[in-house]
Amino acid sequence: MSVEFELLARCPTTGARRGRLHTPHGVVETPCFMPVGTQGTVKTVGSDDIESLGYQLLLSNTYHLSLRPGSNVVSRLGGLHRFMGWKGAILTDSGGFQVMSLAHRRKVSDNGVVFQSHLDGSQVNLTPERSIEIQAELGVDVSMMLDECPPYPCSREDTEAAMRRTHLWAPRNLDARASGQAVFGIVQGGVFEDLRQESVSTITSYPFDGFAIGGVSVGEPTELQYPVVSMTAPLLPDDRPRYLMGVGHPKDILHAVAAGVDLFDCVLPTRMARHHSLYTLGGRVNARNAQWAEHDGPFDPDSVFPATARYPAAYIRHLFIADEPLGQRLATLHNLAFYGRMMSEIREAIERRSWDRLVERYQRA
């Protein structure tokens, strides 16, 4: 039931890697982007849609699913795959990030986090052991270790304290593993180079199945994010998958792939879609803009995808203006198709040694 990472090719001019993650629910070609299905659903689209778009791995949330419907319920129903009708692989985050951003009255101690559910105010105790246990109950392919993820901006002192706690929790996460459960470690350390180095060296000393760079996307501006990624990614073990959590814009993903990152997740394509913002090779467009009111073609002739090709821009605009739920759905399908194609072209560019051409193609996206 564990996962295995296979390295297929390296980009000759950058640190980009072309790989394959073998999971109990099929092969995941990397570099890979995971759509975010927070509550066991990628908002507005079904598992059949995600499958049709060619995705092989999606992300869901331990925090949300443990509160509703409850990991015990999902477990009794045969696991998250069966529950949401998804045949591909699933990675869950540990809940640490959501506890910090959503839960009320949280108290972090060396033992774990005690917080009030944002749904009904009930008190919940999340420890590394419990987080790993919940993810085992969900039956996912990749579990993430519980870490402490301080929000940006964060002083050096607080960043270091969160990192030390993350290090303290790392072995407890591993010890709690069920047989064959794949768990990824998470490197913290904020924007401080020496802390990141220390965190890499501590976290990678444990036998995790993969390694993530955490605490990067939480409101951090690009000029701080890029150096952290460039510096941290190459320090991670070459033989295991590297995952940059919560990133990001197309240009952020291109940058991180070039630094050697294999896995990504982000709410951007789906959240932007719900706010009528569509990714195209020519840049993001506002689907509600009057310029599309009588536009019979696509928003961008170079960004046309099977799932939405039959609908002219004017129609999608009309759906948003008329507050029709189909608008958010079509925009979501569009943006996920855009990200899916980008990842496929990234993999191709690494194999064909045409990285520079790819970067040029996506320079306005």
Residue 165 touches a second copy, criterion: CB under 8 A: no
Q: How many CB atoms lie within 10 A of CB 193?
A: 13
Q: Which residues pair with 36 in a beta bridge?
A: 59
Examine the residue annotation and report whether 120 is marked as an active-site residue of this protein.
no
Residue 284 touches a second copy, criterion: CB under 8 A: no
CA distances from 84 to 37, 74, 139, 165, 288 (A): 10, 10, 12, 34, 32
CB within 8 A of 173, min separation 6: which ones? 94, 128, 129, 131, 132, 145, 146, 183, 185
Size of interface with a second copy, in residues (CB under 8 A): 38
Examine the residue annotation and report whether 194 is marked as an active-site residue of this protein.
no
Taking the complex as a whole, the smallest distance from the CB of residue 360 to a second copy amounts, in Å, to 33
Residue 275 touches a second copy, criterion: CB under 8 A: no
CB within 8 A of 240, min separation 6: which ones? 5, 208, 209, 210, 211
Q: Binding to a second copy (CB under 8 A): which residues in 18-57?
A: 39-41, 43-48
Distance between CA atoms of residues 155 and 178, nearest Å: 36
Residue 71 touches a second copy, criterion: CB under 8 A: no
Q: Which residues pair with 186 in a beta bridge?
A: 212
Residue 290 touches a second copy, criterion: CB under 8 A: no
Judged by CB under 8 A, the residue of 167, 318, 334, 347 near a second copy is: 318
Distance between CA atoms of residues 225 and 190, nearest Å: 9
Taking the complex as a whole, the smallest distance from the CB of residue 237 to a second copy amounts, in Å, to 37
Q: Which stretch binds a second copy (CB under 8 A): 69-77, 155-163, 189-197, 342-350?
A: 69-77
Of 110, 175, 265, 356, the active-site residue reads 265
Of 48, 49, 93, 356, the active-site residue reads 93
Judged by CB under 8 A, the residue of 129, 300, 324, 345 near a second copy is: 324
Judged by CB under 8 A, the residue of 267, 304, 321, 359 near a second copy is: 321
Distance between CA atoms of residues 122 and 131, nearest Å: 17
Residues of this chain that interact with a second copy (CB under 8 A) are: 39-41, 43-48, 64, 68-69, 73, 76-78, 82-85, 293-294, 296, 310-312, 314-315, 318-319, 321-322, 324-326, 328-330
